[in-house]
A and B are shown apart, each in its own frame.
Chain A
Amino acid sequence: MSDAKIKKFRVGVASCGVAAGADAVLELLSARATVPVEGTGCLGHCYAEPLVEAVLEDGKSVFYGNVKADEKSIENILNLGEEGRFEVPALRKAIEKVKVLALAGRINPTDFDDYVAHGGYAGLRKALTMRPEEVVNEVKISGLRGRGGGGFPTGNKWSFLAAKQADEKIVICNADEGDPGAFMDRSLMESAPHQVLEGMLIAAHATGATKLFIYCRAEYPMAIKHLKIAIDQIYEHKLNHVDGRELEIIVKEGAGAFVCGEETALIASLEGGRGTPRFRPPFPTDKGWKGYPTMINNVETFGNVPLILNEGGAKFAEVGTEGSKGTKLFALAGDLKYPGLVEVPMGTTIAQIVFDIGGADRDSVKAVQTGGPSGGCIPAELFDTPVDYDSLKKLGAIMGSGGMIVIGRNRCMVETARYFLSFTHRESCGKCTFCRVGTTRMFEILERITAGKGTEEDLALLEELGPKVRAGSLCGLGQTAPNPVLATLRYYRHEYEAHVKDHCCEALECKALVDLFLDQSKCVKCKLCIKSCPVGAISDNFVIDNAKCTRCNSCAAVCPKHAIRRVKKGSN
């Protein structure tokens, strides 16, 4: 029991918090607490959700993690009990450099004043005192590169649009965060929507833009809601009046097409059409939305802009590496202890992120996948690589937008590649031959291999098609789709060969290549497995009929003694 007085509570109610039950915690805590209880954004510690922060009168805070929405837990928090207290792990604290996410989880995302009270819109105010070309120059000095994955120097892009003379100039925020496994942009939009919008307004001043769009995935309802509230507040405070222009800020919801992350496809979609890309040039800065000069930046890129204005480009560039400045957000997920959102300086090694921050077990990690389905895997042996645009490219992976999936030793790399191709080939728009047919054929080959029906010719065809699909596809989707296959073939060819030649999936993940085995010596005859089996494949004397079994793992999941496991097909 502490003597400190509680000033207010903050409960993280971003999407992942809610998914963990934070809304119920918020409700119960609000009912019980006598001090204000605020819903706030994401602190990045998803593994500890729901997360409650008790802000004390003395300015300090006490955090509670994995809070349950029951009286006992709430009582404990109200009393500042010792139980369930949450501390950011020390190793993480040492490595992390929270700049872009500084306000996430610290403010009420839908409270304009809260944002301003925490230094919000100071960057815009400063920018408006500068001439547009000075702002562009500041961004150039900062060395900021596009955070959506491409890594194009942001200042250059801005200067292209600034140079255009046109009735309308368009700035678009690409919030179509489609990479499965990435949620940096969602988190930022949900937790600090004004920060993104401030970046856009600064861009509008710097480039002379007349219209601002945010193209956001419809799967992010909270982000959309928070953005819309923030835009209303901006209108209310007339912050959209820039250089005498009254800017329109429009949120457009995507409708579920990964390819719309590609600039020209995004524009086609914004125009109300099918989200198919077109050949560049002309680039959007020459001919974009409805033919007007258009510039597209990613959410996180815009999120960085207020910082650059606040601290100056040169100061911003002090963090990071020679070619990659500033910090980068990563969404950590997969086989690790502390999944969540992290912000680290460019140049931090993968090992630091995965092991020190993510708490992954050094012996059980096989690889990480960066860049989602467009990226590649990096084997654990190369984890000393610093994360920056150029180092990752050298390894056959890409920075991507920041998804980082940790792959454990018990995962099959062929299956991993198959999974990514199943995604990309489904998301192909179908316009160009190499992507539409090429990715489908590659996916089919991977399906065959994981089903134990692959041949050496299949492997050869994968190796032939991969580079050709890369080289011959119209847009980034097809140009990067082969990456997960080529990267896994590069580092884990032996796994492919084992599937093809020996019909063996070492990781025991590929269903067609495994049997289920019930270890009678461990079995306690509780019959839970028999009850759970959807196809009646387990006999009364606890023998699994692998001819009937669909490898659904229901039995293994319910077995209290872990007596059921996968084994190589035909091995028992």
Chain B
Amino acid sequence: MDQKYSFLEKIGREPSNLIKGLQAIQGAEGYVSDESITAVAEYFGIPEVEVEGVLSFYAQFKRVKPGRFKIAVCDGTACHIKGSVQIQEWISSALGIKSGETDKNGTFSLETVACLGCCSLAPVMSINGRVYGKLDRKNTIKILKEYEAK
């Protein structure tokens, strides 16, 4: 196995840890590459095609490299009611990307997620895990600008 995946050694080799292994890969690289699938398959002794089958089942796993800033717009019920669709459209038009896409510079990637569990602050989004609540057009655009400047 490639040295760069040696961190897998910390995880037990039993196949029930497959998801944990994939989460470790994504944690390290931001996504799951073909190469890392091969490494994971070898490590756990699971055929590559099954590893793919498992990871493609779960929404968490990304197969393409995300942007530096990962925007997740919550479309949970509360956020939806509070207009998350519009939040997403505003972000889409500001960045020129749709949900599931990464912008050309690799700065932002945008996705819609089921629920961030901050329903009372709806509508919310998270950028690299940091949650922003009570969004409206103005503060959403402002937050994006702040990140863009980083």
Which positions in A face B, CB cutoff 8 Å? 15-16, 18-20, 46-47, 49, 177-183, 186, 218-221, 252-258, 269-276, 290, 331-335, 339-341, 369, 372-373, 403, 405, 407-408, 411, 416, 419-420, 423, 427, 429, 532, 534, 550, 552-554, 557-558
Can you list 12 A-B pairs with a CB-CB distance of less than 8 A? A18-B131, A181-B76, A182-B115, A183-B115, A256-B58, A257-B57, A271-B16, A272-B19, A274-B54, A334-B77, A552-B90, A558-B138
A46→B83 CA distance, assembly (Å): 19
- Asked whether, in the complex, the Cβ of A20 is within 8 Å of the Cβ of B129, the reply is no
With both chains docked as a complex, state the minimum distance between the C-beta of B8 and any C-beta of chain A, in angstroms: 14
A373→B15 CA distance, assembly (Å): 32
B61 contacts which chain A residues (CB < 8 A)? 255-256
B39 contacts which chain A residues (CB < 8 A)? none
A258 contacts which chain B residues (CB < 8 A)? 114
Q: Mark B71-84, 1 if CB is under 8 A from A, else 0.
A: 00011111111110
B82 contacts which chain A residues (CB < 8 A)? 334
Q: Mark B1-32, 1 if CB is under 8 A from A, else 0.
A: 00000000000001111111011000000000
Give residues 95-121 of B contacting A (CB, 8 Å): 113-121
Selected from A274, A331, A369, A423, the residue in CB contact (under 8 A) with B57 is A274
Selected from A220, A257, A270, A416, the residue in CB contact (under 8 A) with B117 is A220
Selected from B53, B59, B77, the residue in CB contact (under 8 A) with A257 is B59
With both chains docked as a complex, state the minimum distance between the C-beta of A534 and any C-beta of chain B, in angstroms: 4
Select from chain B the residue with minimum beta-carbon distance to A220.
B117
- Asked whether, in the complex, the Cβ of B59 is within 8 Å of the Cβ of A16, the reply is no
Select from chain A the residue with minimum beta-carbon distance to B16.
A272
Select from chain A the residue with minimum beta-carbon distance to B76.
A180
A271→B60 CA distance, assembly (Å): 17
Contacts A253-B20, A255-B58, A339-B120 known; 7 new A-B pairs at CB < 8 A? A258-B114, A271-B15, A272-B44, A276-B57, A339-B121, A554-B90, A557-B136
Chain A CB within 10 A, most for which of B15, B76, B131: B76
A46 with B120: in contact, given A180-B76, A271-B16, A334-B81 (CB under 8 Å)?
A: yes
Select from chain A the residue with minimum beta-carbon distance to B132.
A19
The SS class assigned to the A binding surface is mixed
With both chains docked as a complex, state the minimum distance between the C-beta of A10 and any C-beta of chain B, in angstroms: 19
Selected from B15, B74, B90, B121, the residue in CB contact (under 8 A) with A20 is B121
With both chains docked as a complex, state the minimum distance between the C-beta of A258 and any C-beta of chain B, in angstroms: 7
- Asked whether, in the complex, the Cβ of A534 is within 8 Å of the Cβ of B93, the reply is yes
A181→B77 CA distance, assembly (Å): 5
Select from chain A the residue with minimum beta-carbon distance to B57.
A274
A420→B78 CA distance, assembly (Å): 12
Select from chain A the residue with minimum beta-carbon distance to B26.
A255
Which positions in B face A, CB cutoff 8 Å? 14-20, 22-23, 44, 46, 53-55, 57-61, 74-83, 86, 89-90, 93, 113-122, 124, 129, 131-134, 136-138
- Asked whether, in the complex, the Cβ of B137 is within 8 Å of the Cβ of A255, the reply is no
- Asked whether, in the complex, the Cβ of B90 is within 8 Å of the Cβ of A16, the reply is no
A186→B89 CA distance, assembly (Å): 28
- Asked whether, in the complex, the Cβ of B122 is within 8 Å of the Cβ of A333, the reply is yes
B46 contacts which chain A residues (CB < 8 A)? 272
With both chains docked as a complex, state the minimum distance between the C-beta of A374 and any C-beta of chain B, in angstroms: 12
Selected from A16, A252, A416, the residue in CB contact (under 8 A) with B118 is A16
- Asked whether, in the complex, the Cβ of A183 is within 8 Å of the Cβ of B118, the reply is yes
A255 with B77: in contact, given A15-B118, A179-B115, A333-B122 (CB under 8 Å)?
A: no
Selected from A20, A183, A257, A423, the residue in CB contact (under 8 A) with B133 is A20
B19 contacts which chain A residues (CB < 8 A)? 252-253, 255, 269, 272
A186→B131 CA distance, assembly (Å): 15
- Asked whether, in the complex, the Cβ of A221 is within 8 Å of the Cβ of B137, the reply is no
- Asked whether, in the complex, the Cβ of B117 is within 8 Å of the Cβ of A183, the reply is yes
With both chains docked as a complex, state the minimum distance between the C-beta of B149 and any C-beta of chain A, in angstroms: 19
With both chains docked as a complex, state the minimum distance between the C-beta of B32 and any C-beta of chain A, in angstroms: 11
B74 contacts which chain A residues (CB < 8 A)? 180
With both chains docked as a complex, state the minimum distance between the C-beta of B24 and any C-beta of chain A, in angstroms: 11
Select from chain B the residue with minimum beta-carbon distance to A427.
B114
Select from chain A the residue with minimum beta-carbon distance to B115.
A180
A331 with B54: in contact, given A19-B132, A180-B80 (CB under 8 Å)?
A: no
A243→B102 CA distance, assembly (Å): 54
A221 contacts which chain B residues (CB < 8 A)? 129
A423 contacts which chain B residues (CB < 8 A)? 75, 114
A403→B77 CA distance, assembly (Å): 9
